[in-house]
Amino acid sequence: MSKAPIDPLPRPANVSRRGFVGGLSAGILGAVATEAAGAETLADVPDRGPGAILSAHSERSRFAKIDRIPEAGPGKRNIDPGDTINSKTPHQKLVGNLTPTDLHYERSHSGVPDIDPAQHRLLIHGMVQKPLVFSVDDLKRMPSISRVVFIECTGNGWENWKKADPELTVQNTHGLVSTNEWTGVPLKFLIDLVSKDKSSSWMLAEGGDGAGVDRSIPLTDEIVNEAFVAYGQNGEPLRPAHGFPMRLVMPGFEGNLNIKWLRRLKFGNQPWMTRWETARYTQLLADGKARQFQLRMETNSVITQPSGMMQIQPGYNRISGLAWSGHGKIAKVEISTDGAKTWTQAQLSQPVLSKAQVRFQMDWVWDGKPTRIVSRSTDDKGNVQPDRQSFIAAMGTNALFHYNAQQTWSIDEAGRVRNVLA
Amino acid sequence: MCWHNKQLIAAVLGFGVLASPALAFDFGRPATPDEIKLWDIDVGPDGKGLPDGAGTVAQGKQVFSDNCAACHGDNGQGGIKDRLVGGQGTLASGMPVKTVGSFWPYATTLFDYIHRAMPYPTPGSLSTDDTYAVTAYILSLNGIVPADAKLDKASLPKIRMPNRDGFVPEAEFDPARLARKK
């Protein structure tokens, strides 16, 4: 990280320039190339002049270097692109509550299909009176809703089950969760169109990817009322990586249930026991038994600023991060800067939405002594994000999925921020 | 959910309930039985959905060698992709080995997954007989069926997998509980 003698932003009174710039250099400015000389005085700011030709599609500034990181699994980085199984959101370089569309995390099980929407169909059948086939245009003609929700891979956090690699960034540890606005048709509306049999209590959702990823979905009142088939993402058609031309959105539930490239919904009265809900997304406990249908994503939070592999300076530092819960709204986030001994409530960035990520932040003056910082969230149903020790006591270290223990970052005397277990 | 979302959903659902019978014709078209058959590939744990056909362990050995061994190893011991064989007795250890033999609770899932998703470059390319055969071969490698076994839609669902009782359903979504509720 550059420590060029620059002063690009106004700073609060009583904070030395060195401390302020040092703290920032690890964060938002870290997303921007600062190799070039800065502007010591206003005279150093380049002259104005005509800029580039206006375009049909705007790109990020060449100074803003923000990318996802493709990985092949826990601890498998810097890989052959062909081995990629997921691509993680760079939370350490983002601000606000929403994730940019192109940086929304991706987990796909058989690549990204190239689907012509004119040839895509959604079949809804099984225990229904009227099995129907819908085109993308059919869906777009129906009454729609838009909702901001997080989607989280069940493997988010899977790096830290057994040990903490000190070289990890928050992108490595928590890059499998993102928040977008999705637009589409309520599942309830489609259920009415096909006249679902009342005794049907499960639904199979299947994708049009090579793996034909399919999951059994329990038709609880919550799911029937909140699930929807989306064709819009942040105001535009879904990106192919996220299910173009249509996907299921299941607010608060495992990412894998939000079936991408959706092409079939089948109603039945028992789960199908697909590979994904038996062999894959089940959580192996210490006694050798596995938790099954642990479908809801838990109460969670992580400090993104400062976070793993950053370096801070003594003095003013602003702590910021993201919190979310599959149970509902985040009620509060507390931060400890003394290794979980004392806690202070952080500010939440409005709006705080149910089953969406919310940014939290807090002022902090670092005294330059080694310490540990950690956040914990509480949702409006009273669920509290567990500390690592009690979490591991309940889940063991073999579960692989549904990791939501508090994330601790250690800070040494040089200000180096590193991933630790607690 | 924020206030206006609730209003919207209420409006949408009200519209659906009141107007969907009249408008059903406008949204989508009826699915014909023949085209449903093309896509209706899912197999349940009770064997529902399994197609006609049959395959033996001996046939499956050849199918595996031709289509699977490059990724899963010559005898399913694992390669660039998942290990399929062994691991029984390791689930409660510090280094659990999750395979078809040690972890998968239903043999029907193995047929369904191979049928829909394998081989990776050309999913769905195996014939029904070859799918039964390679399912039988993988189960025989795990000592679950004998070396002379032949599987079809009647025999496959009857196989009891070693880890059949190894799963604890989450109370909120326990299939038994949801079935009682309905």
State the DSSP string of A292-321: E---B---EEEEEES-TT-B--SEEEEEEE
Work out whether the CA dihedral B168, B172, B176, B177 comes out positive or negative: positive
**Left if phi > 0, otherwise alpha if psi is -120 to 50, otherwise beta: which for A400?**
left
Q: Which residues of A touch B103 (CB under 8 A)?
A: 279, 290
CB contact under 8 A, A354 and B1: yes
CB contact under 8 A, A132 and B91: no
- Residue A85 at interface with chain B, using a CB cutoff of 8 Å: no
CB contact under 8 A, B30 and A263: no
Residue A37's pLDDT is 74
- Residue A129 at interface with chain B, using a CB cutoff of 8 Å: no
A270, pLDDT greater than 90:
yes
Mean pLDDT of A235-243: 98
What whole-number distance in Å separates Cα of residue A92 and Cα of residue A219? 37
What whole-number distance in Å separates Cα of residue B106 and Cα of residue A273? 8
CB contact under 8 A, A289 and B166: yes
Let me know: does B81 contact B68? Beta carbons within 8 Å: no
Residues 267-296 of A with CB under 8 A from B: 268-275, 278-279, 282, 284-296
Question: What is the DSSP code (8-state) at residue B114?
Answer: H
Model confidence pLDDT, tens digit, residues A377-420? 999 999 999 999 999 999 999 999 999 999 999 999 999 999 99
CB contact under 8 A, B96 and A398: yes
Model confidence pLDDT, tens digit, residues A311-363? 999 999 999 999 999 999 999 999 999 999 999 999 999 999 999 999 999 99
Angle between helices B128-141 and B57-67 in degrees, nearest 10: 100
Distance from CA of A144 to the nearest CA of B (A): 7
Which carries the bigger pLDDT value, residue A1 or residue A280?
A: A280
Of the listed ranges A69-83, A122-136, A199-213, B150-164, the least confidently predicted one is A69-83
Angle between helices B3-23 and A187-194 in degrees, nearest 10: 20
Residue A36's pLDDT is 56
Write down the H helix ranges in A83-142. 136-141
Residue A250's pLDDT is 98
Work out whether the CA dihedral A237, A242, A244, A246 comes out positive or negative: negative
Q: How confident is the model at residue B182 (pLDDT cuts 50, 70, 90)?
A: low
- Residue A379 at interface with chain B, using a CB cutoff of 8 Å: no
CB contact under 8 A, B109 and A275: yes
Q: Which residues of A touch B167 (CB under 8 A)?
A: 278, 282, 289-292
Residue at token pair 């819009």:
A232
For A226, A264, B182, the CA distances from A221, given in Å and listed in that order, are 8, 21, 12
Q: Provide the percentage of residues in chain A whose pLDDT is more than 90.
A: 88
**Left if phi > 0, otherwise alpha if psi is -120 to 50, otherwise beta: which for A288?**
left
Q: Phi, psi (5° rounding) for residue A29?
A: -65, -20
- pTM to 2 decimal places: 0.90
